Amino acid sequence: MPGLPDAISRMTRPARDKAELETGLSATQVHERHGEFVWRTLHRMGVRPPHIEDVYQEVFLVVHRRLHTFSGQSALTTWLYEICFRVAAGFRRKAHFRREQLLGDSSELEAFSSEAPSPERQLATARQAKQLERILDAMPLEYRVVFVMFEIEGLSSEQISVSLGTPVGTVYSRLYRARKRFARALSRLGSEQKESKS
């Protein structure tokens, strides 16, 4: 994937450690094979361009340190998802994340219309994108990831189940709860907008 940092591949380590013997992969190979999965997962968790490279690097530092603990009882992507979850949760807990106003990627906004939109339409689209991000940022990570994968990326429950290494029933449950939270947040937002107009 273009833009993925390649600093991990330059890390020095013993030629073959215990983790590589057990999993058949080194930390560098995990980075090469699953870097795009980690990048997409962090994006789904709400880590945006100003910080995604740093958080991505942090995930692979954890992978480098903890690969020897991977026992192979689950899929490697499931193990990576859990690391992404912990690192992203730590990132979200930091005070600066709660205070700063992040702007969405402008390329995402252009996808809404193939024609050049009017300035009013651009402003409305930008506001909607900001509201969506605000609602998603307020969701617990496990709900947010499932909601983004199903509602925005269009993946099936079965695909999400395989990707996250969770039972399909858990995917349904998280999606149901995420939809309820999303609907409540939209309702609150609508009420706030009506009050501000009156």
Is there a single domain that holds both residue 124 and residue 92?
no
Is there a single domain that holds both residue 80 and residue 127?
no
Residue in this structure with the two tokens 């795009």, named with its chain if needed:
36
Distance CA 28, CA 25 (A): 8
Is there a single domain that holds both residue 135 and residue 185?
yes
∠ Cα 45 117 111 (to 5°): 30
Is there a single domain that holds both residue 15 and residue 89?
yes
Is there a single domain that holds both residue 142 and residue 87?
no
Q: Is the residue at 105 inside a domain?
A: no
Q: Which residues contact 142 (CB under 8 A, 6 or more apart)?
A: 85, 174
Q: What is the CATH number of the domain that holds 30?
A: 1.10.1740.10
Tens-place pLDDT, residues 105-139: 545 445 544 566 778 888 877 888 888 888 888 89
Boundary (domain end) residue, out of 96, 111, 131: 96
Give the model's pLDDT for residue 128.
Answer: 82
Query: pLDDT confidence of 196, banded at 50, 70, 90?
Result: low
Distance CA 155, CA 153 (A): 6
Helical H segments across 67-152, by residue range: 76-93, 95-99, 106-110, 119-138, 141-147
Distance CA 142, CA 92 (A): 13
The b-or-e profile of 142-164 (16+ CB within 10 A means b, else e) is bbbbbbbbbeeeebebeebbbbb
Q: Is the residue at 101 inside a domain?
A: no
Beta strand residue intervals within the chain, DSSP E:
none
Q: Is the residue at 23 inside a domain?
A: yes
Q: Is the residue at 114 inside a domain?
A: no
Q: Which residues contact 188 (CB under 8 A, 6 or more apart)?
A: none
Residue-range definition of the domain harbouring residue 124: 119-197
Q: Is the residue at 102 inside a domain?
A: no
Q: Is the residue at 168 inside a domain?
A: yes
Tens-place pLDDT, residues 179-191: 999 999 988 887 7
Q: Is the residue at 79 inside a domain?
A: yes
Boundary (domain end) residue, out of 62, 96, 130: 96
Q: Is the residue at 155 inside a domain?
A: yes
Is there a single domain that holds both residue 11 and residue 91?
yes
166 CB-contact burial (10 Å; exposed 0-12 / middle 13-18 / buried 19+)? middle
- C-alpha pair distances (Å), 103 with each of 6, 49, 85, 113: 25, 9, 22, 19
> In this predicted structure, which of 15-19, 119-123, 125-129, 145-149 has the lowest mean pLDDT?
15-19
Half-sphere exposure (Cβ direction) of 150: Cα atoms closer than 13 Å: 22
Is there a single domain that holds both residue 92 and residue 124?
no
Tens-place pLDDT, residues 43-69: 999 888 888 999 999 999 999 999 988
Domain count, the chain: 2
Q: What is the CATH number of the domain that holds 143?
A: 1.10.10.10
